[in-house]
Amino acid sequence: MTTNENMEKAEFKLDEKMEQLAKLKRAQPAAFDKLAPTAKMAFGLYVSDRDAAIAAARKIIGVNENGKSN
């Protein structure tokens, strides 16, 4: 199995802090815009990886309704 095949089969674990940033972005976009550029870049990379995992139908290990990892 190649590295790419392993990545496609791997689980994706949602990150508690990044999911909280996603909530912040939806609920308070002005506050999100005030974050440091590096935090917003890290968030963008995380969202890209998360969306790719979802599109590839990888198993997603979730975060509960309180934003805590399962």
* pLDDT tens-digit readout, 5-44: 655 568 999 999 999 999 999 999 999 999 999 999 999 9
Please, which residues bridge with residue 61 across strands?
Answer: 13
In a domain, 69, yes or no: no
- Band the pLDDT of 64: cuts 50, 70, 90: low
Which pTM value belongs to this model?
Answer: 0.75
Positive or negative, the CA dihedral 51, 56, 57, 60 is negative
The residue segments making up the domain with residue 41 are 3-61
Closest CA to 56 of 1, 5, 2: 5
Query: What is the count of structural domains for the chain?
Result: 1
Under 8 Å between Cβ of 12 and 49: yes
In a domain, 68, yes or no: no
Pair of tokens at residue 8: 């496609």
In a domain, 70, yes or no: no
Can you tell me whether residue 37 is helix, strand or coil?
helix
In a domain, 19, yes or no: yes
